[in-house]
Structure 1
């Protein structure tokens, strides 16, 4: 039996899932997704209890929700602290700098991965051809269109073949390699 490993798994998974939901809130607001979409409403209800108090300290700047961005950073830092404490290693004041740096790098990686997989999901949905008014399909379109739209305008028309997802996916992978995320 490994109760410490099981506790570690549960805590880190819970933190990562909630960080994903808060990041979704940040991205939905940044791309100005439909607030009345049922998926948007679920994300808002799950994140409001934590983000509303943070908004008093960090108000939004246009469509950039600083409170949700700070919350994701805090959640990633919390995950690192939990990992350190459960491993039995000492946690001193000198660890603050590396933890903050790790949280910022993780945030960048999370955002790039979020868009990477959102584009993959949108491509797969285009093969299945779901109802374009389905809430999930609509959200995927709203999240990915700010990246795909400008690339689509630059690429030549290939008669129904859209290569913009391929170009954007390669660009996102390039950023991951460039910044070693």
Structure 2
């Protein structure tokens, strides 16, 4: 019975934690991309993250136009998720410093997974609804621009075909593999790795 309650606790904490982490990282990426603040999805993300992020901004200033408060909040969410789930699962507490490093790696993996899945969705809808003005698709294109824009400048389209997403996929996959290597070097447990989103199949 105790194990059952522990498993339920881990499930709830991990589910709520990764959903909130997703919202915080999305806000960070949308700000980085200078995406439409008035998009209804942007407004929803702002409402979810503001209660914690606004007080944190009073303590953590921005740096070179980057919202460092969002970065700190994402690391803290991952850190709490790792420590809390580890405590519920095994009854022991992970080293807080190691947990913070694992949180950094996990957050980076989640950002890569967001970009990877987002790019897949964007490509699919470019074929089935190329002229769609849906707010979600418009926001997705804006979010992906920091990933795709630099590659597109180096690799121009072949006629009407934009092949830059292929190279973005390759770069994201390489980055994910490098992070997996860093995770192994940092002795990140498989349990902690499973708490974060990562590219499907890796």
The answer, yes or no, to whether TM exceeds 0.5 is yes
1:126-156 alpha-carbon deviations (Å, 9 max, x no partner):
1111544321111011011222122222224
- Report what 1:168 is aligned to: 168
- Report what 2:38 is aligned to: 36
1-side partners of 2:28 and 2:47: how far apart?
Answer: 14
2-side partners of 1:32 and 1:50: how far apart?
Answer: 21
- Report what 1:76 is aligned to: 78
Q: Which residue among 87, 90, 93 is the counterpart of 2:89?
A: 87
Normalised TM-score (structure 1): 0.91
2-side partners of 1:59 and 1:75: how far apart?
Answer: 18
Q: Which residue among 41, 45, 48 is the counterpart of 1:46?
A: 48
- Correspondence 1:117-136 to 2 at 5 A: 117-129=117-129, 131-136=131-136
1-side partners of 2:89 and 2:156: how far apart?
Answer: 54
Q: Secondary structure at the match of 1:77?
A: helix
- Report what 1:58 is aligned to: 60
How far did residue 62 of structure 1 move?
A: 4.2
- Report what 1:103 is aligned to: 103
Q: Secondary structure at the match of 1:162?
A: coil
- Runs of 5+ in structure 2 lacking a partner? 184-202
1-side partners of 2:37 and 2:78: how far apart?
Answer: 26
- Alpha-carbon spacing, 1:8–1:168, altered in 2? closer, same or farther (3 Å): same
How far did residue 3 of structure 1 move?
A: 2.7
1-side partners of 2:151 and 2:86: how far apart?
Answer: 42
- Report what 1:17 is aligned to: 19
Normalised TM-score (structure 2): 0.82
- Alpha-carbon spacing, 1:156–1:85, altered in 2? closer, same or farther (3 Å): closer
- Runs of 5+ in structure 1 lacking a partner? none
Let me know the Cα RMSD of the aligned residues.
1.7
1-side partners of 2:90 and 2:151: how far apart?
Answer: 49
